């Protein structure tokens, strides 16, 4: 809101890579590895490895080898970052060879040591799929019966495909949901009754947890606010909604001011939630008074922290001018198109407040949506201050456009704040009713009517 190295064996064999930045639909489905011991001596050897991707393109990989025993060790390697834990050796791509198209080859090499023998490794995988020199068809996914299943049940793990957010069937989808207000101020609004209402009555697809960093937020109690966010992640999961973890940077506007805090926070939440398929990471809320180059630099330092723990999650990057794609700073989407963040499976945030941001902002989104994957992680029906009268016509025009373009959104704000952008009338969060007309503001009634309509998620 504005206010605010050990390849062991001789002869040809197969080897594996496991995805880092690739979404599930882009995971490799087969590979072949030509492995050659180029020299060997007492207790050691050198090997060359030619990895051929036979399946779908991958963008980010990890080679994993299960050694015959832990006595075989990686000593040195090249063309990848090598490591070993117990009997498992790994080689992670470098920036220049992270992409492997179908039929593409990665040439790796290493020096290894062994204690008593140098037998073959016992297992290899490529992006979690056993490499047999052929393509493995993924198991079919049976869609839920029509009209049944939660958003997460139906869509599963999400990924970015082209300019869209796509589901487990590799089909573009639109998520519609609500954002919390600052957790330091409105914690009482996020309880069993309110989250039940959001999932069941509102039929929301998404809960965005807005964790302010300053203004009495994360910096005052990192452990406490991290726990609050994780609790909301679990509450969303239990109800089949997606959870967006919002590192709500606003003042100061340069996200690099909070770079180390961001690394600490995302290292923790990504490790804790890595096995969950419903989590989306928003790494900076509304950068302002700062260049796109500075935002890009921040993103390219934070994203690897998340990827180290959660390699396949969707990550959203804030944009210049309070996440306006630069429009509020007199720029536009071209600066991002010309210098995109060097990462995959990411989207870019766009924010609007309907009474303040109208035709020129909508024109930018319409144009940018053909080039960039966008997510409206925050918007309001009122002015950019969070107050004033609701602009129904502009809000409706915005929501119709987002529906047309299949751009997901989260409304500001699912709270009873004393401001016209709030969903609930003041005092609502002291009770148990979060759905009836008696507690909804004009903005809340409009958003509930839009969000609760059928999603019709594609499954084929």
Which residue in 56, 282, 286, 419 is the catalytic one?
286
For residue 120, the number of C-alpha atoms closer than 13 Å in the C-beta half-sphere is 11
Q: Indicate if 378 belongs to the active site.
A: yes
Which residue in 333, 335, 378, 419 is the catalytic one?
378
Q: Indicate if 286 belongs to the active site.
A: yes
What distance separates the 2 farthest-apart alpha carbons in the chain?
Answer: 82
CA 267 – CA 287 distance, rounded (Å): 21
- List, in order, residues 6 or more apart from 449 with CB less than 8 Å away: none
31-41/62-66 β-pairing? unpaired
- Sign, CA dihedral 320-223-267-198, equals negative
Residue 211 has phi, psi (to 5 degrees) of -100, 100
Tokens of 257: 């001011």
Residues assigned a catalytic role: 286, 378
């Amino acid at each position: 809101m504005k206010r605010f190295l050990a390849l062991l064996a001789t002869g040809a064999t197969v080897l594996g890579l496991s995805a880092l930045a690739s979404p599930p639909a882009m995971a490799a489905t087969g590979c072949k590895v030509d492995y050659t011991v180029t020299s060997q001596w007492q207790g050691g050897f050198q090997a060359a490895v030619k990895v051929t991707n036979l399946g779908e393109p991958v963008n980010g990989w990890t080679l994993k080898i299960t050694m015959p025993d832990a006595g075989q060790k990686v000593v040195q390697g090249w063309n990848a970052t090598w490591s070993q834990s117990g009997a498992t050796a790994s080689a992670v791509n470098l920036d220049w060879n992270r992409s492997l198209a179908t039929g593409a080859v990665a040439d790796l090499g290493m020096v290894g040591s062994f204690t008593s023998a140098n037998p073959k490794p016992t297992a290899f995988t490529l992006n979690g799929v056993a490499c047999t020199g052929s393509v493995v068809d993924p198991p079919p996914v049976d869609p839920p019966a029509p009209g049944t299943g939660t958003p997460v049940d139906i869509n599963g793990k999400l990924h970015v495909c082209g300019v869209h957010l796509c589901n487990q069937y590799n089909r573009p989808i639109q998520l519609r949901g609500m954002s919390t207000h600052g957790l330091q101020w409105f914690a009482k609004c996020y309880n069993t009754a309110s989250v039940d209402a959001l999932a069941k009555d509102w039929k929301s697809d998404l809960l965005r947890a807005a964790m302010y960093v300053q203004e009495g937020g994360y910096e005052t109690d990192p452990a406490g606010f991290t726990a609050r966010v994780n609790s909301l992640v679990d509450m969303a999961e239990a109800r089949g909604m997606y959870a967006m973890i919002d590192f709500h940077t606003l003042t100061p506007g340069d996200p690099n001011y909070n770079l180390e805090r961001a690394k600490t926070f995302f290292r923790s939440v990504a490790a804790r939630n890595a096995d969950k398929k419903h989590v989306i990471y928003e790494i900076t809320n509304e950068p302002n008074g700062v260049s796109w180059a500075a935002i890009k630099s921040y993103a390219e330092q934070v994203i690897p922290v998340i990827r180290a723990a959660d390699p396949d999650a969707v990550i959203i990057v804030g944009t210049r001018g309070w996440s306006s794609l630069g429009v509020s700073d007199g720029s536009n989407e071209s600066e991002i198109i010309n210098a995109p963040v060097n990462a995959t499976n990411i989207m870019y945030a766009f924010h609007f407040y309907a009474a303040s941001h109208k035709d020129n902002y909508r024109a930018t989104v319409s144009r940018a949506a053909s080039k960039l994957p966008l997510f409206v992680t925050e918007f309001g029906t009122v002015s950019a201050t969070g107050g004033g009268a609701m602009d129904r016509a502009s809000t409706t025009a915005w929501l119709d456009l987002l529906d047309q373009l299949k751009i997901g959104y989260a409304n500001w704000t699912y709270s009873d704040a004393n401001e016209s952008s709030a969903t609930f009338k003041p005092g609502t969060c002291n009770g148990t009713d979060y759905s009836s007309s008696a507690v909804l503001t004009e903005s809340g009634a409009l958003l509930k009517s839009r969000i609760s309509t059928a999603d019709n998620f594609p499954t084929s």
